[in-house]
Amino acid sequence: MSSNETTTMQAIIQESYGNADVLHTAQIPRPEPGANEVLLQVRAAGLDRGTWHLMAGLPYLMRPFVGFRGPRNPVPGLDVAGVVEAVGEKVTGFAVGDEVYGFGRGTFAEYAVAPADQLAPKPKNLSFEQAAVVPVSASTALVALTQVADVQPGQQVLVIGASGGVGSYAVQLAKALGAEVTGVCSPAKTDLVRSLGAQRVLDYTRDDWADGSHHYDLILDIGGRPTISRLRSALTPDGTAVFVGAEDGGKFSGGMNRGLRGMALSPFVKQRLRMFVAGQKTSDLEQLTGFIEAGQVTPSIDRTYPLGQAPDAMRRLEAGEVRGKIAIKP
């Protein structure tokens, strides 16, 4: 363990579910790592859509796992980049002072714990802020493209929601894997998506990606809104649609019904309709590091907020104003 005698820390906490108003700053005890965990001095944390779901307690289907009336862990935050402060007794491969990134627990704080098997060395060419916005969103895009869909060079890939957290990585990763990428986004964000490497960019307010003029081998549906029939009409006869996001559909299921219906239909049609939950693995982080250090993937940070302004960052995410990702810096 480190000799640092600090026993408390500043953190963002919430006692109940709700909007960004439930988040506030507090001085709380510093966590201690378990046998297979690492204690990190947080240099930056990332804000992702999953953190919003945990703040809001939506959909209700997740509450048996995270807490019925309020979150079991009152400190939000999943993405993290920082410096190893202490290691659990069974941890190997990490030492005090190592710069790492990955998936933590309660990362909107000055210190956070993380399982050792969900961390990797920080990419050498990234700042802590850049590294912190990679893990959740980029690994989701990576798994969707390589493990769920197995995208191949030359394939036509459509990314719906290309300017968001997952989408901004999906565009870059699909291009790095040799695909021809079309991105769909709002008119204010077309320049961002084009800068990420999309060969075609569609403005969803005036362009119809399902008008029959193009058909895609793979559609990543990150927005969670198109009907299954609309997705299928834009696929090639043996194409794949992957449901990455499900933001509409009510408070109980949060839109999961659409993905479940797609999976139920998939065995009876030639097209593949897939839904998945991305894991949190060191191997995925290491693969992402390869793309990042090769210059093929670069995090797109909209803004960096100090820890005390995390509620404002969350409001910006709720309003749909974020271009790429937001970093939180203690």
pLDDT: which is higher, 70 or 262: 70
pLDDT for the residue numbered 322: 92
Q: Which of 97, 4, 80, 99 is nearest to 42 (CA)?
A: 80
Domains, the chain, ranges and CATH? 8-134+299-329 (3.90.180.10), 137-275 (3.40.50.720)
How far apart are the C-alpha atoms of 128 and 132, rounded to whole Å?
Answer: 6
pLDDT surpassing 50 at residue 3: no
How far apart are the C-alpha atoms of 269 and 245, rounded to whole Å?
Answer: 22
Q: Are the C-beta atoms of residues 31 and 85 closer than 8 Å to each other?
A: no
Model confidence pLDDT, tens digit, residues 164-210: 999 999 999 999 999 999 999 999 999 999 999 999 999 999 999 99
How far apart are the C-alpha atoms of 23 and 5, rounded to whole Å?
Answer: 27
Give the lowest-confidence range in 6-10, 63-67, 281-285: 63-67
Interval 227-236 mean pLDDT: 96
Give residue 117's identity as a one-letter amino acid code.
Answer: D
What confidence category does residue 76 fall into, taking pLDDT thresholds of 50, 70 and 90? very high
Interval 264-268 mean pLDDT: 82
With a pLDDT cut of 70, the percent of the chain lying above it is: 93
The distance of Cα 98 from the centroid of its chain, to the nearest Å, equals 24
Model confidence pLDDT, tens digit, residues 111-168: 999 999 999 999 999 999 999 999 999 999 999 999 999 999 999 999 999 999 999 9
pLDDT for the residue numbered 263: 79
pLDDT for the residue numbered 249: 54
Please tell me which of 264-268, 304-308, 322-326 the model is most confident about, judged by mean pLDDT. Answer: 304-308
Please list, in sequence order, all residues whose beta carbon lies within 8 angstroms of the beta carbon of residue 251, skipping any fewer than 6 positions away.
58, 59, 60
pLDDT for the residue numbered 97: 98
pLDDT surpassing 90 at residue 37: yes
pLDDT surpassing 90 at residue 52: no
Model confidence pLDDT, tens digit, residues 108-125: 999 999 999 999 999 999
**DSSP notation for 113-173:** EEEGGGEEEPPTTS-HHHHHTSHHHHHHHHHIIIIIS---TT-EEEEETTTSHHHHHHHHH
Interval 74-85 mean pLDDT: 97
pLDDT surpassing 90 at residue 326: yes
pLDDT for the residue numbered 143: 97
